[in-house]
Amino acid sequence: DGGITQSPKYLFRKEGQNVTLSCEQNLNHDAMYWYRQDPGQGLRLIYYSQIVNDFQKGDIAEGYSVSREKKESFPLTVTSAQKNPTAFYLCASSMGLGFSPDYGYTFGSGTRLTVV
Amino acid sequence: DQQVKQNSPSLSVQEGRISILNCDYTNSMFDYFLWYKKYPAEGPTFLISISSIKDKNEDGRFTVFLNKSAKHLSLHIVPSQPGDSAVYFCAAIYSGAGSYQLTFGKGTKLSVIP
């Protein structure tokens, strides 16, 4: 079955450490996205990528970095510069160059990051 | 500046009754609107969408209504079931922008009481 896989589901990080969240999709989607969800804040866009080797900052990119070396993969690194990294992180993908209003985005199941 | 607003953080409805979730938007360039359903600790799943050229779209128990002049849309769930209890996100997109970037509201938590 096609879909998006995020790993790990739960992640603990010590303050001052960088940590990388994995996102892999086998949907042959062009575009991939990273969102952060906080209570009462909805979904806020961190970074997105429409094609390989290209990505753009979203609304809250500070303290985060991404790479898009393969179409299937869009890892997110939460750096020590991110002041409040504890949150639920969601990866999504879409057709990108051919947006489908019937399906919108496909989301992964998320990673819960906790700074200890 | 919040372009998609869901002003009700929560809603409680009796099983079998109608649930109405509301969403307002400010950007008149949006041409597609989508609703997503999200359970705790899971990713959102697509529910239903509507194009700005329509005023209604129906899929089983779910109907979305769009009032372009009021920049308002609503999701109706009839009849409501306990399994519908989740957070519902309204989202909008301007498909001509090239980025296909969805803008989400903050969500409304629906509780369906048995």
| Lowest-confidence pick of A33-47, A50-64, A91-105, B72-86 | A91-105
At residue A101, the pLDDT reads: 64
At residue A103, the pLDDT reads: 60
Residue A35 has pLDDT above 90, yes or no: yes
Residue bearing the bigger pLDDT, B94 or A96: B94
At residue B94, the pLDDT reads: 85
Average pLDDT, integer, range A47-61? 92
% pLDDT > 70, chain A: 92
- State the pLDDT confidence band at A81, using cuts at 50, 70 and 90: confident
Residue B68 has pLDDT above 70, yes or no: yes
Q: Is the CB of A50 less than 8 angstroms away from the CB of B99?
A: yes
What is the DSSP secondary-structure string of chain B? --SEE---SEEEEETTS-EEEEEEE--TT--EEEEEEE-TTS--EEEEEEETT-SEEEETTEEEEEETTTTEEEEEESS--GGG-EEEEEEEE-GGGSS---EE---EEEEEE-
At residue A105, the pLDDT reads: 86
Name every chain B residue with its beta carbon within 8 A of the beta carbon of A42: 6, 89, 104-107
Q: Which of residues 18-37 of A touch B (CB under 8 A)?
A: 31, 33, 35
Whether the CB-CB separation of B30 and B97 falls below 8 Å is answered with: no
A110 SS3 class? coil
Average pLDDT, integer, range A40-44? 83
Nearest to A101 among B41, B42, B49 (CB): B49
- State the pLDDT confidence band at A99, using cuts at 50, 70 and 90: low
Count of A-B CB contacts under 8 Å: 67
At residue A95, the pLDDT reads: 80
- Spatial CA neighbour of B25 closest among B59, B1, B48, B47: B1
At residue A40, the pLDDT reads: 76
- Spatial CA neighbour of B80 closest among B113, B34, B49: B113
Contacts of B25 (CB under 8 A, 6+ apart): B3, B4, B5, B33, B71, B72, B73, B92
Whether the CB-CB separation of B51 and B65 falls below 8 Å is answered with: no
Q: Which of residues 46-75 of A touch B (CB under 8 A)?
A: 48, 50, 56, 58
